[in-house]
Amino acid sequence: MASHSLQGLLSKNRAEELDLDVWQHFVVPPFFEKLDLYTARKPRVILGGRGCGKTMLLRYLSHQSTFSRLRKSIPLDTISHIGLYWRADTHFLNLFTGRGVDDDRWHSAFLHSAAIILGIEVLASLHSVAVSSCLAFDEARLDILDFSKLKAFDADLPHKYTELRAALEQRLWSFQAWVNNARKLPEPTFLAGEVFVAALIREIQSQIPELQQANYFVYIDEYENLKEWQQRIVNTWLKHSQIPLIFNLAMKRNSMRTQQTTGPESLTNIHDFRIHDLEALLDDDFSLFAAEILFLNLSLANQPTPVEPSILRSPDGIRARQDPKYRDGIRTAVRALFPDMTHREMAERVFSDAPLTLKLRQRVRQALSQRGSQLNADDFVLASQPEASIVSPSLLFRTSLDPSYVRAELRKLDEGDINDFTGSRDWIHNNFVGSYLQLYGPHSKPCPLFAGFQTFCQLAHGNIRYLLELCHTSLNRMDDWDGQQGVPIDVQADAAREASASFLREVRSSGPKGLQLHGFVLRLGSLLAIAHQRPTQSEPEQTHFSIGAGSTSLTNEDQDFLREAVKWSVIYEEPETKKKDVGEPEGFEYVLAPIYAPYFHISYRKKRKLKLSTDDVIVLVRGSYEQVKELLRRYSAAWEVEPSELAPTLFSHLGDEFDENQDAGSEHRGRFGH
C-alpha cells in the first residue's frame, strides 16, 4: 500500500488542514517576485477562486511560517516584513447584528475584535522571531517590554508581555461569549480597532531597536465572508494604510460588494491598492508549478523525487527553477508517474478491446443504415488507421457527406495520399475527442481521455486542490506502489471520475446559494452531455455557452446568481470570442469548470460554444423540474439524440435534484449514480 504518511500528505489538499506554519509545505510560485509583497507600501488584493492557493500564500507570508522553527537559517533582514494572518470567520461575523444592540455598537464591536485578534498576532510574532533561528533578539528581551502606555485604551490591561498576551486571549474568549449572548452578558470595554494595533506596534518598535524599520502586513483572508458594512470598515483600513501597518486582502471573484469606506471616499484600484489575480498569473506555468507541489509532498513522505525541497521554499530558488534542464527533468518525471496516451494510442486501444471494436462497427452500421447505404461497415473500421476509424461514424451520420466519399478519403489516407482526414478539412483533429467520448459512453470502463498529468492539470484549471486530489485518489488505488512506478491509465481515469463526482457533491457547500449552484451544474452538465451524444458531432466538444436574446430578460437576481457561480468557480467567465453575428454586442462566455467533465463524460477542453437564449438560461438557473426536463428533451430532439444514447437515470436524477435541493439536509445521489 501507499505509505500512511503519503496518504495523509496528499489528502491534506487545503491550507486549513495544515498548521499555521506552512513553510515546509509551501512552494514559492514562479510569479512570486511580481507580487512585490516584501517591499510594497500599497495594499495588495489577492484574487482567485477556491483552491488556487490564496490561503497558502498568505500563511507562508505570515510570521508563523516566515520565522518557522523548521528553518535552519533566517537572515536578519527578514524582520523587515512581519505578516499577520486573519481569517474572516463567517459564522462569528454574521452574529454582529440585532438582538437589542444598535448598529453603532456592532460597529465598535467589530473594531474591538480586530484589535484583539491582531493584537494577539503582533505579540505572537515577537515570540516567533525570538524562538527562531533569526538572531534579531531572544525571549529574554520580551520579558523586559513595558506596555504601560496601552492602559490609555483600557486601564486593566497588564503592562508585561506574557500577561498582556494572556489578557488579550482571555478577552477574545469573553468577547466571543458576549457576542453569542449580547442580551444577557455585560458589554465589554471596546478597544479602538486598528488604532490600538498601531499603538501596540509603536510601543514595540520604541523598545526593540531591531524592529524600528519593520513593517507589519495584515493579510485578511476570505474577505467575501464579511457583511457589507464590515467590508466598508476594512476598505477604510486599506485606503488609509500607512507604514508600519499595511492591510491586504484575499478574496474570491465578485466578492467586493462595495468599494465604499466609512467616510465620503471610496476605494479605487491602483490608487489605493493593486490586484493580483493568482489564476491569471499561473496560466503559463501551472503544470510545472503543480508538479513541484506534488513532488514536494512526495518528498515529505520520504519518496524519491527529482526536486530539492530547499529551492522550492525560498524566493531565492526561483532563478534556479527557470533552468531548462531542471524544467525538462520535472516534466519527464511527472509524466512517468502519471503517463498519458496519444490519440493514436487511445485509438489503438479500441482495436485491442473486442467490446469496443464491436461497438465501433455497430455505430458504423447504424450510420450506414440511416443513410440507406449498402456499403460494408468493415471498409470504415481499419486497424491500420485507428484514429480515422474512430471518427468515421460521426462523418457517416452527416447528410452533407456521401458515405462513398468518406470511404474514398479513408482509402487515400491508408495509401498515404492527400485526404480530408489529415488534410485541409482535418477530420481527425476536429472530431476525434468527441467521437472517442461517444464511443466509450458514460457507463463504460474508465475513459483514457481523462488520464495523464497534463490532463489532470487541465481538469484542475489552476486549482491546486483539485490537482492534488486527482493525484491522491490515483495513488491511493495503487496497492503496491513503490514510489517510482507509473500509475496505470485506467487507474488514473477511474480516479478522475471519482474525484469529479466528489467535487460536484461539494458544490452544495458553496455559500448561501450552494444548493442552487449544485442544481445548476447538474442541469448544465446534463445539457452538455446531450450535446456530446449528437451522432454527427457537427459541433463537437461543446463545454461553454454564451447568452443570446430570448423572450424574457435575465433579472438582477439571475445576473447575481451567475456572478455567484463565477465566484465559487463552478463556471468561469471569459470575454466572448468567435461571434457569428456581425454587430452583435460584446458579451461573455461561461465555461463549465473542467473538473466536472469526467462526471458528465464530456470534454474538458474549451472548444465549441453553445448559444443559449435567456429563456434557456432562466430554466437552468431557476426552472422547475418539468421545465428542465422539457428543455433537455427539446435539445435531444433537435440534436437527434436517441434516449438510448443517454444515461438511463438522466431525468430521474434531475428530478431528485429538484426535490432534494428544496431540502438542505438531503443527499443527492448524482446524475450517473456515483
* pLDDT above 50: residue 451: yes
Judge whether 635 and 531 are in contact, CB under 8 Å. yes
Give SS3 for 270.
coil
**Strand order across the beta sheet in which 81-87 lies:** 81-87, 215-221, 245-251, 44-47, 274-277
Look at residue 303 in the predicted model and tell me its pLDDT. Answer: 84
* pLDDT above 50: residue 177: yes
Look at residue 672 in the predicted model and tell me its pLDDT. Answer: 33
- How many other C-beta atoms can be found within 10 angstroms of the C-beta atom of residue 205? 16
Give SS3 for 24.
helix
Radius of gyration of the chain (CA): 29
* pLDDT above 80: residue 646: no
Look at residue 588 in the predicted model and tell me its pLDDT. Answer: 86
- Cell matching residue 149: 502606555
CA distance 504 to 498: 10
Look at residue 17 in the predicted model and tell me its pLDDT. Answer: 59
Reported as type and span, the H/E element at residue 274 is strand 274-277
Of these ranges, 47-61, 278-292, 369-383, the one predicted with the greatest mean pLDDT is: 369-383
The 8-class DSSP code of residue 644 comes to G
Among 119-133, 174-188, 427-441, 593-607, name the one with the lowest average pLDDT. Answer: 174-188
* pLDDT above 60: residue 583: no
Mean pLDDT, rounded, for 438-453: 87
- Cell matching residue 521: 451544474
Look at residue 580 in the predicted model and tell me its pLDDT. Answer: 55
CA distance 230 to 121: 20
Give SS3 for 16.
helix
- Nearest-CA neighbor of 78 among 63, 88, 59? 63
Look at residue 665 in the predicted model and tell me its pLDDT. Answer: 36
CA distance 267 to 289: 33
Of these ranges, 39-48, 89-98, 408-417, the one predicted with the greatest mean pLDDT is: 408-417
Q: How confident is the model at residue 268 (pLDDT cuts 50, 70, 90)?
A: confident
* pLDDT above 60: residue 9: no
* pLDDT above 80: residue 662: no
- Residue 244, preceding peptide bond in cis (omega within 30° of 0): yes
Give 28-79 pLDDT, tens digit per residue.
999 998 888 777 778 999 999 888 889 999 999 999 999 999 999 999 999 9
- Nearest-CA neighbor of 382 among 447, 428, 342? 428
The amino acid occupying position 490 is D
Look at residue 14 in the predicted model and tell me its pLDDT. Answer: 54
* pLDDT above 60: residue 428: yes
Judge whether 254 and 219 are in contact, CB under 8 Å. no
* pLDDT above 90: residue 2: no
Among 193-202, 336-345, 543-552, name the one with the lowest average pLDDT. Answer: 543-552
Q: How confident is the model at residue 436 (pLDDT cuts 50, 70, 90)?
A: very high
The amino acid occupying position 403 is P
Mean pLDDT, rounded, for 590-605: 95
- CA-to-CA separations, 185 to 104, 175, 182, in angstroms, rounded: 18, 10, 6
**Strand order across the beta sheet in which 571-575 lies:** 571-575, 588-592, 542-548, 608-613
- Cell matching residue 442: 458514460
Q: How confident is the model at residue 1 (pLDDT cuts 50, 70, 90)?
A: very low
CA distance 63 to 79: 9
Look at residue 651 in the predicted model and tell me its pLDDT. Answer: 47
Look at residue 667 in the predicted model and tell me its pLDDT. Answer: 35
* pLDDT above 90: residue 579: no
State the greatest distance between any 2 C-alpha atoms of the chain, in Å, as a whole number: 98
If you average pLDDT over every residue of the chain, what do you get? 88
- CA-to-CA separations, 245 to 61, 62, 136, 215, in angstroms, rounded: 15, 14, 20, 6
* pLDDT above 90: residue 101: no
Output the CA torsion 479→482→488→491 (10° steps). Answer: 30
Q: What angle do CA 350, 500, 389 make, to 5 degrees?
A: 20
* pLDDT above 50: residue 151: yes
Judge whether 612 and 591 are in contact, CB under 8 Å. no
Give SS3 for 34.
helix
- Nearest-CA neighbor of 386 among 344, 431, 433? 344
Q: Which residues, including other chains, have CB under 8 Å from residue 205's CB and lie 6 or more apart?
A: 211, 212, 214, 244
Residue 158 φ then ψ, to 5°: -65, 160
Look at residue 642 in the predicted model and tell me its pLDDT. Answer: 77
- How many other C-beta atoms can be found within 10 angstroms of the C-beta atom of residue 185? 13
Look at residue 578 in the predicted model and tell me its pLDDT. Answer: 64
Look at residue 669 in the predicted model and tell me its pLDDT. Answer: 34
Mean pLDDT, rounded, for 490-510: 95
Query: Does residue 560 or residue 183 have the better pLDDT?
Result: 560
Q: What percent of the chain has pLDDT over 90?
A: 70
Q: How confident is the model at residue 575 (pLDDT cuts 50, 70, 90)?
A: confident
- How many other C-beta atoms can be found within 10 angstroms of the C-beta atom of residue 626? 10
